[in-house]
Structure 1
Amino acid sequence: MNKPAHTKALLLAIFITFLWSTSWILIKFGLRNDLPSLSFAGLRYTTAFLCLAIFVFANPKERANLKRLTRSDWGWLALLGLIVITLTQGAQFVSLAYLPANMVSLILNTTSIFVGLTGIYFLKESPSRLQWLGIALTLAGVGVYFLPISVSGILGVGLLAAILTMLGNTASSLLGRKINLQDHLSPLIVTFVSMGVGSVVLLVIGAVTQGLGQPSLADWGIIAWLAILNTAFAFTVWNHTLQTLTAVESSIINSLMMPQIAIMAWLFLGEAISSKEILGLILVGVGALVVQLRKR
Structure 2
Amino acid sequence: MLQALLATFLWSTSFVLVKGGLREIPPLTFAGLRYGIAAVCLAPFALRREVGKALRGLARRRWAELGLLGLLLYAVTQGAIFIGLQELPAVTVNLLLNLTSPLVAGLAIFTLGEKPTILQWVGIALFVVGALVYFYPPQFAEGAMGALAAVVLGVAANAGSVVLGRAINRKQSLHPLAVTAVSMAVGAALLLVAGAALQGVPALEARHWAVVIWLAVVNTAFAFTIWDHTLRTLSAAESSILNGTMLVQVAVLAWLFLNERLTSRQGLGTVSAGAGAVAVQLRGRAHPRLDGEESGSSAIAGG
Asked if TM exceeds 0.5, the reply is yes
Separation in 1, partners of 2:278, 2:181: 29
What percentage of residue pairs aligned between the two structures are identical?
A: 48
In terms of mean alpha carbon deviation, does 14-23 or 115-124 score higher?
115-124
Separation in 1, partners of 2:139, 2:255: 22
Separation in 1, partners of 2:141, 2:214: 34
Q: 1:65·1:186 contact (CA, 8 Å) conserved in 2? A: no
For residues 163-203 of structure 1, what are the alpha-carbon distances to aligned partners after superposition, in whole Å with 9 as ceiling and x for unaligned?
Answer: 11211111011101110011211112211211111110111
Are positions 1:11 and 2:39 aligned together? Answer: no
In terms of mean alpha carbon deviation, does 189-198 or 256-265 score higher?
189-198
Equivalences for residues 130-279 of structure 1 within 5 A: 130-151=119-140, 153-279=142-268
Q: CA deviation at 1:137?
A: 1.1
Are positions 1:30 and 2:21 aligned together? Answer: yes
Post-superposition, which runs of at least 4 consecutive aligned residues in structure 1 deviate over 6 A? none
Q: 1:248·1:293 contact (CA, 8 Å) conserved in 2? A: yes
Map of 1:6 onto structure 2: none
Are positions 1:60 and 2:52 aligned together? Answer: no
Map of 1:50 onto structure 2: 40
Q: 2:247·2:274 contact (CA, 8 Å) conserved in 1? A: yes
Q: CA deviation at 1:150?
A: 3.4
Aligned-residue CA RMSD in angstroms?
1.5
Normalised by the length of structure 2, the TM-score is 0.90
Return the index of the structure with the highest Cα Rg. 1
SS at match of 2:234: coil
- The number of residues matched between the two structures is 285
Separation in 1, partners of 2:235, 2:247: 21
Separation in 2, partners of 1:268, 1:212: 28
Q: 2:133·2:269 contact (CA, 8 Å) conserved in 1? A: yes
SS at match of 1:256: helix
Separation in 2, partners of 1:278, 1:265: 13
Map of 1:283 onto structure 2: 272
Q: CA deviation at 1:161?
A: 1.3
In terms of mean alpha carbon deviation, does 254-263 or 116-125 score higher?
116-125
SS at match of 1:272: coil
Q: 2:236·2:284 contact (CA, 8 Å) conserved in 1? A: no
Separation in 1, partners of 2:186, 2:283: 34
Correspondent of 1:76 among 65, 68, 83: 65
Separation in 1, partners of 2:150, 2:249: 22
Normalised by the length of structure 1, the TM-score is 0.92
1:295/1:112 Cα in 2 relative to 1: closer, same or farther (>3 Å)? farther
Are positions 1:123 and 2:112 aligned together? Answer: yes
Gaps of 5+ in 2: 286-303
Q: CA deviation at 1:241?
A: 0.6
Q: 1:88·1:169 contact (CA, 8 Å) conserved in 2? A: yes
SS at match of 2:202: coil
In terms of mean alpha carbon deviation, does 61-70 or 93-102 score higher?
61-70
Separation in 1, partners of 2:267, 2:26: 30
Separation in 1, partners of 2:283, 2:54: 34
Separation in 1, partners of 2:147, 2:193: 22
Q: 1:80·1:175 contact (CA, 8 Å) conserved in 2? A: yes
Q: CA deviation at 1:68?
A: 2.0
